[in-house]
Amino acid sequence: MRTVGVEEELLLVEPDTGGPVAVSSAVLAGLTRCAAAGGGTCGETFEKELQGQQLEFGTRPQTDMDELGAEIVRWRSEAARHAAEVGAAVAALATSPLPFRPALNVGARYQWMEEQFGLTTLEQLTCGCHVHVSVDSDEEGVAVVDRIQPWLPILTALSGNSPYWQGHDSRYNSYRSRVWGRWPMSGPTAAFGSAERYHAQVDDMVTSGVLRDRGMIYFDARLSHRYPTVEIRVADVCLEATTTTLVACLARALVETAALDWRAGRPPLGHGVSLLRLAAWRAARSGLDSDLLHPVTMRPAPAQVVVRALLDEVRDALDSSDDLVWARKATAEHIARGNGARIQRALFAETGNLGAVVAACVRRTQGERELRCMTAE
């Protein structure tokens, strides 16, 4: 069974106001001290990100979705505990509902990015969820990347958790993805056809001088430059750990389905980048609240119909990993409850206060809702 791991970026906020606070260095220092004092691997699990108001963690590769979900809950709890030690809180929000000022972390890489990309770098206070799924080779990985492109916007719609930007309703479910799309090396890709052509294009992009290194290849799905995985990078950080687990489960099933299609000689759907970009925009704008573009036809269809098409596409893969019953149930519950964007807007409708929205999301991030069992009874 393929392994799957998750990287989550969390927002560090001031508990009283909900505004972003640049204390990631202090939080990481506490985590390092904890590890040195015998606190396990927490010092290695967490990393700094571009902005000082962000904190990132990564799970271990897992095959069991129960274990993956439990690890996500654990590291969110650890992040909250160590943030509290420096007077902050963590929120699984993909953008800050409240206004913020840039606070880039110190480092040659981040300084280079600011000089190269200017305001695009300064505005990138966005928190995503990256899913790593193991592949047997670069050739298999590129075949997977080529075949999963039309299905990725559905993961954006499911995970949408960034309706607010600088104190305003953006009118999007995932405004994070629109801000992220300002990077010139981001977005969907046309079919590469082979690992050789994939690596040649990446080499050409780095050699252009626009990018600093291969780590700045921000494709929606790419070969990881650190692990033997396909890395899927389209999801917002999800408000609740159960949603993260669902996105990871569906991502693994997509990779397995695409790999089987490749081995069977079935070609990619072949949509051009222009249509893929429209599908990504539609998902970011609508989330689960309106039409999406159907991955096969690229024509509008109700979100529930499109999500059902994804479940049908990956049915055999979910069945083989014993995730089918849970994935169907979790997806139905998620659609009924709504993604993070719908929840944030409902909270604002109740309170009329974005600070109160952040406070409620802090509580959800820290596990106020229990993680549902991944194993169907």
User: What confidence category does residue 373 fall into, taking pLDDT thresholds of 50, 70 and 90?
Assistant: very low
Number of domains in the chain: 1
In a domain, 111, yes or no: no
In a domain, 192, yes or no: yes
Rg (CA), the chain: 19
Report the relative pairing of strands 218-219 and 186-187 from DSSP bridges. parallel
In a domain, 372, yes or no: no
pLDDT of residue 37: 75
CATH number of the domain residue 186 falls in: 3.30.590.20
- Does residue 268 contact residue 191 with C-beta atoms inside 8 Å? yes
Which 3 state secondary structure label does DSSP give 284? helix
In a domain, 124, yes or no: no
Helix ranges restricted to H, 137-234: 138-148, 152-159, 175-180, 195-207
Burial-class residue 106 by CB neighbours within 10 Å (0-12, 13-18, 19+): exposed
Work out the average pLDDT over 12-19: 96
Tell me the pLDDT tens digit for each residue of 191-222.
999 999 999 999 999 999 999 999 999 999 99
Which 3 state secondary structure label does DSSP give 357? helix
- Cβ contacts of 160 within 8 Å, gap of 6 or more: 172, 173, 174, 236, 283, 284, 287, 288, 339, 340, 341
In a domain, 227, yes or no: yes
DSSP 273: H
Please give the structure tokens belonging to residue 143.
């075949």
Has residue 39 got a pLDDT over 70? no
Q: Tell me how far CA of residue 35 lies from CA of 32, 222, 255, 322, in angstroms.
A: 5, 32, 34, 35
In a domain, 43, yes or no: yes
Instruction: Give CA–CA dist 43/107, Å, rounded.
Output: 19
Domain region containing 148? 4-105+130-365
Closest CA to 245 of 111, 18, 64, 366: 64
Sign (positive/negative) of CA torsion 104, 105, 107, 113? negative
In a domain, 376, yes or no: no
In a domain, 167, yes or no: yes
pTM of the full structure: 0.95
Tell me the pLDDT tens digit for each residue of 103-153.
999 999 999 999 999 999 999 999 999 999 999 999 999 999 999 999 999
Tell me the pLDDT tens digit for each residue of 210-263.
999 999 999 999 999 999 999 999 999 999 999 999 999 999 999 999 999 999
